[in-house]
Amino acid sequence: MKKRKRPQEWKRKDKDNCECCDLEKLFCLNNEDNEKKDVNIKVYPSLTNAILHEAVTLRRYFHRHPELSYKEKNTAEFIVKELNTYVETHKSLCSVLGERTIETQLMGNIDGTHGIVFDLVFGEGKTLMFRADMDALPIHETTNAEYASVNEGVSHACGHDAHMAILLTVAKVLLRDRKLRHHLQGKVRLIFQPAEEGGAGAKRMIAGKCLEHVDMVFGLHVWNFQTVGTIGVCEGAITANSDRFEIVVTGKGGHGSQPQATVDPIVVGAQVVTALQTIVSRSVDPFAPAVVSIGTFHSGDAANVIAGSAVMKGTVRTKDERTKEIIIKRMEEICTGIATATGATIDFKYRHGYPATKSTRSGALLVRRAASKVLSSGDIRLPYKSLAGEDMSYYLNEKPGAFFFVGSCSPENLKSPVPHHRSDFNIDERALSVGTSIFLHIIANSLTNSGDDEEKKEEEEEDFGGAAAV
């Protein structure tokens, strides 16, 4: 009989493998080689230190004065005031130089919200739209930063303060940089939307016609799961379909000592919870990311009483429509089946939330091309995988373009990054120069005639390979 090899001997021993897990170093999250110690950012040429310093000041102002979804009144007023100041400075500079001013248009109160649309017209040509979100979260901030929130119980714990600072800085540079504006054709539209955090502010902006005559849309999110000095971009879905559901089990209440006379909704509900957990493990393709989570389960008031009903609420996250359909169908079947088996009535309601945010190939390529002028090629990565929801999807369902992550975690914190929506959330502010530079390069590359040819050539040459839909 042949002697079996012991498993240890099968392992590929390589001096480059990680000491903690024996995986190739590239795949070990704990490996220090994967930490990015040097942050190399080549900022857009006309982004001076003074302007970057102002970008930080803007971000800190927003951070200090956060407002909740659809209540971004002061934030919007501040943005309008800033934009008007940039336009006035631009006009006085042009009159001194005897040059023509750029045509601009500023619109507020989009669809009755605090949304803002700011257009800069450089001539005939394509229109590119860039989006920032303005809202904060109902979270008490615990960063102890000197610019911490002064609005009790509200904080910019997702990083939308950075998005606004980036877009304002883009506006400032476009109005100041003479060389760039003489070179541009077409239109840049900058939008500041309300209520990304669950309020679908993007839908209101679209209802307010922000997408009219727009050719491509771009957005970014600072991202604490990537080191500052890197970005995450891919063709296809970068965030998930983010849906909610509610299940109401109606049984028959009674005395705790006489279960035979009742239909216990807690026992029925428990079966529903357990059965729902088999959907992802047994019905969904293991290579398709999916989550079914129950967040609340409420029933009953007394230890000796069998309750009359139970209510459960939860979320479903998927990246593709097929998986989403399978999950909904299985949820319905489970609810119907358990109701029949137990004699309870089960009411199942599914609410479709934000769709998955998907970048088009052309949009992702434009971001990569712009980013290659700011970061080294190794720092332009596939995004950190996430099933978060994001309402940028509504714009990208209508127009081509891209949404990408801008790393905002300091290298020393990468082993345990502070997640978004946590009270001590903060960012490495060097992310502002990365985001602003990439947006400016997208504009400079795309809104010129020469840019078109280069873009086409690059699209033909570049291959995304397996980068789609992570």
Minimum distance of Zn ion from residue 131's CB (angstroms): 12
Find out whether 255 and 304 touch, Cβ atoms under 8 Å. Answer: yes
Handedness of CA 404, 409, 410, 411 (dihedral sign): negative
Which among 238, 236, 237, 187 is positioned nearest to 216, based on CA atoms? 187
Q: What is the largest CA-CA distance in the chain?
A: 94
The catalytically annotated residue of 133, 135, 243, 429 is: 135
The residue within the footprint of Zn ion, chosen from 55, 76, 116, 158 (CB under 5 A), is 158
Tell me the window of 5-13, 15-23, 47-55, 156-164 that interacts with Zn ion (CB under 5 A). 156-164
Minimum distance of Zn ion from residue 295's CB (angstroms): 16
Nearer to Zn ion, 176 or 244 (CB): 244
Burial class of 33 by CB neighbour count within 10 A (0 to 12, 13 to 18, 19+): exposed
Minimum distance of Zn ion from residue 388's CB (angstroms): 7
Tell me the window of 2-10, 158-166, 312-320, 362-370 that interacts with Zn ion (CB under 5 A). 158-166
Nearer to Zn ion, 158 or 366 (CB): 158
Q: Measured between alpha carbons, how far is 363 from 402 in angstroms, rounded to an integer?
A: 5
Q: Measured between alpha carbons, how far is 354 from 469 in angstroms, rounded to an integer?
A: 17
Active site residue 196: yes
Nearer to Zn ion, 177 or 196 (CB): 196
Q: Measured between alpha carbons, how far is 429 from 225 in angstroms, rounded to an integer?
A: 15
User: Could you tell me the CA-to-CA distances from 83 to 112, 218, 432 in Å, in that order?
Assistant: 20, 20, 18
Minimum distance of Zn ion from residue 412's CB (angstroms): 24
User: Could you tell me the CA-to-CA distances from 227 to 157, 223, 332, 363 in Å, in that order?
Assistant: 18, 8, 42, 23
Question: Under 8 Å CB-to-CB from 370, ≥6 apart: which residues?
Answer: 437, 438, 439, 441, 442, 445
Q: Measured between alpha carbons, how far is 470 from 466 in angstroms, rounded to an integer?
A: 9
Q: Measured between alpha carbons, how far is 83 from 88 in angstroms, rounded to an integer?
A: 9
Residue nearest Zn ion (C-beta atom)? 158
User: Tokens in use for 410?
Assistant: 């300091």
Minimum distance of Zn ion from residue 197's CB (angstroms): 5
Minimum distance of Zn ion from residue 221's CB (angstroms): 6
Nearer to Zn ion, 154 or 158 (CB): 158
99-105: which pairs have CB atoms within 8 A and are 24 or more residues apart?
99/178, 102/174, 102/175, 102/181, 104/175
Count residues contacting Zn ion (CB under 5 A)? 1
Find out whether 352 and 316 touch, Cβ atoms under 8 Å. Answer: no
Tell me the window of 10-18, 47-55, 153-161, 432-440 that interacts with Zn ion (CB under 5 A). 153-161
The catalytically annotated residue of 72, 141, 177, 196 is: 196
Active site residue 459: no
Nearer to Zn ion, 139 or 447 (CB): 139
Nearer to Zn ion, 118 or 405 (CB): 405
Which among 133, 16, 146 is positioned nearest to 394, based on CA atoms? 133
Minimum distance of Zn ion from residue 410's CB (angstroms): 19
Nearer to Zn ion, 158 or 228 (CB): 158
Residues 106-135 that bind Zn ion (CB under 5 A): none
Which residues here bind Zn ion, judged by CB under 5 A? 158
- Give catalytic residues, as residue numbers: 135, 196
